[in-house]
Amino acid sequence: MQNTNLSAEKIILGIDPGTRYLGYGLIRTHKDQVTILQYGVLNLTKYTTQGAKFLKIHERVLHLLEEFMPDEIAIESPFFGKNVQSMLKLGRVQGMVMSLSYSKQIPITEYEPKKVKQSVTGNGNASKEQVSKMVEIISGIKLESKLHDATDALGIAICHHFHSKNLTSSVKGTQKGWGAFVNENPDRIK
């Protein structure tokens, strides 16, 4: 049973997907209080095949889900860059995380990188260092400065916390498109 009381304590897993480095961060929220439970980076550079990388990602994310039993998951959506192959690989990682989320009936929400930066720092073009510094300020703890993928994941989780009052996430998927519009605007549907 998912936690629907916004003032109740909630555990959020943030994921910064990657095929070289996957960042993850777990936070506990209660009202405006954010406590970091765990964060880290899964280094996938030592694995030579996509299959080995995907297996490692599957194992680690499943372990996090079973150990911390998060109420919700937030993941960064892939953005279109110059390299289409990179975007496809990131999409596969994102799909794997989404599948694990659905299998555990945990709601998952996607956030664009600019949205995360805007929510955490107030600047959609903020650097990784600026995101890391604001995560430190919000959480009240000093973070390891070299783990930018992990601090990005914490930023994604914090972004989700900030936006959770406006979301009606469900296990059916992310709150985008017509389904979200209908849920958020029932009075406008005839």
Compute the residue count for the chain.
190
73, pLDDT greater than 50: yes
The 10s digit of each residue's pLDDT in 18-71 is 999 999 999 999 988 999 999 999 999 999 999 999 999 999 999 999 999 999
Q: Which residue has the tokens 């192959």?
A: 85
Q: Which helix (H) or strand (E) holds 177?
A: helix 177-184
Active centre residues (catalytic)? 16, 76, 149
pLDDT value at residue 188? 56
d(CA 57, CA 120): 26
d(CA 91, CA 152): 17
pLDDT value at residue 34? 95
User: How do beta strands 10-16 and 72-76 pair?
Assistant: parallel
Q: Nearest 5 degrees, angle CA 187-CA 188-CA 190? A: 95
- Which pTM value belongs to this model? 0.82
pLDDT band at 80, cuts 50/70/90?
low
d(CA 168, CA 6): 11
Least confident piece of the model among 42-56, 64-78, 84-98, 156-170: 156-170
Q: Tell me the sheet residues that pair with 24.
A: 15, 40
